[in-house]
Amino acid sequence: MTLLLDAGNTRLKWSRLVDGRLGVVEATPHRDVPAADWQRVLAGAGRPARLVVANVAGESFGHALTDWARATWNVAPEFVATRARAAGLTIAYAMPTALGVDRWLAMIAAWRTARRACVVIVAGTALTVDAVDAQGRHRGGYIVPGVRMMREALHERTGGIARASALAPPAVDGAFGVNTGGAVEQGARVALAALAERSVAELARVLIPGDAPPHVFLAGGDGELVAPLLRIEHSRAPDLVLQGLAAIAQEPHP
């Protein structure tokens, strides 16, 4: 059995790869919790023959996972790294390793699903947007703070907003915040939704005449915060990184 592991900034997500298909997706937090907690939960996945990992949680986590997997399962994790070309996708970055492996895998999964121009939006600690044209060429993207990071930055840098936000729970009327907390929360969400919509319009503008309009994929733990404000058709795709990891795990080694 091959176990696929998506090590994000705050959570671990994993799934078994059996006969080319993902099994049930499970998750547990790993940030700000004792290592023994996530290790105990992950051990329940059963001993894999291979452990294939997308790690954006940092070097320290990678070392901890390696030591634990070897001691527990006698298996060394295979850490996937971004490549310039793979699975039909060509990235825009001149230095492939500068592109986060999670973004790369999400684009691979989206491209393999859509087989046409697509925009991949991942809403988490940060919000990332990546555009892929109908030929599988990554055209580039954006990275901006996510909803929580925007809120925290405002609260840390502007004492008046923090004090006013603490007076009452966020309140919203339609599209607008009607107290300070609501204005901060809704402002962040609308800003992210607007960036996503602009990204789709920009990709559509550079497509070859006759190409189908971009398919929009929305992923990430904060996707539900942005989705209600999007005025474009989109598909919720919470497991894009694992799907991309499955594609790479089944490819011959480069």
Q: Which residues are catalytic?
A: 102
d(CA 189, CA 5): 29
Contact 224, 215 (CB under 8 A): no
Short-list 157, 159, 185, 160, CA closest to 170:
185
Contact 107, 138 (CB under 8 A): yes
d(CA 142, CA 121): 9
d(CA 180, CA 162): 9
Residue 39, Cβ density class (10 Å: 0-12 exposed, 13-18 middle, ≥19 buried): middle
Q: What are the b/e assignments for 175-209, b being 16+ CB within 10 Å?
A: eebebbbbbbbbbbbebbbeebbebbebbeeebee
Q: What is the DSSP letter of 137?
A: B
Cα dist from 244 to 22, 44, 168, 187, 241, whole Å? 11, 23, 42, 32, 5
d(CA 169, CA 54): 37
